[in-house]
Amino acid sequence: MFALFQTIDLALNIYTWILIASAIFSWLYAFNVINSSNQFVNSVGTFLYNVTEPVLKPIRRLLPNLGGIDISPIILLLIIFFLRTLLWTTVYPLVA
């Protein structure tokens, strides 16, 4: 059972880093720091968008319009932190 909890925790941790990479990539893209016509850069951006957008889209629908500021990644990071803490402090002691 411990291996299952570690695997779930690792998946959430990896998704956290993908979410951070996606946010940084979007800033670099918005400020023209990276070359958007480069095929590798475009494929990385597409991958990050496809992995994070299905989770961020419902959060964006619930948030009020903040005038161009997107805090949905921060909200999702807080949710992931809550889930990881809940997993190890509440659920795992009950099962173990």
Q: What is the pLDDT of residues 41-55, one digit of tens each?
A: 999 999 999 999 999
Gap between the Cα atoms of 90 and 96, Å rounded: 11
96: confidence class by pLDDT, cuts 50, 70, 90: confident
Query: Torsion angle, CA of 22/25/31/37, rounded to 10 degrees?
Result: -120
Helical segments of 31-91, H only = 39-62, 72-86
The mean per-residue pLDDT over the stretch 84-93 comes to 96
Gap between the Cα atoms of 63 and 93, Å rounded: 34
Question: pTM of whole model > 0.85?
Answer: yes
Lookup result for tokens 């909890």: 5
Gap between the Cα atoms of 20 and 74, Å rounded: 9
Task: Indicate left, alpha or beta for 14 from its phi (over 0: left) and psi (-120 to 50: alpha).
Answer: alpha
What is the tens place of the pLDDT at every residue in 8-44?
999 999 999 999 999 999 999 999 999 989 999 999 9
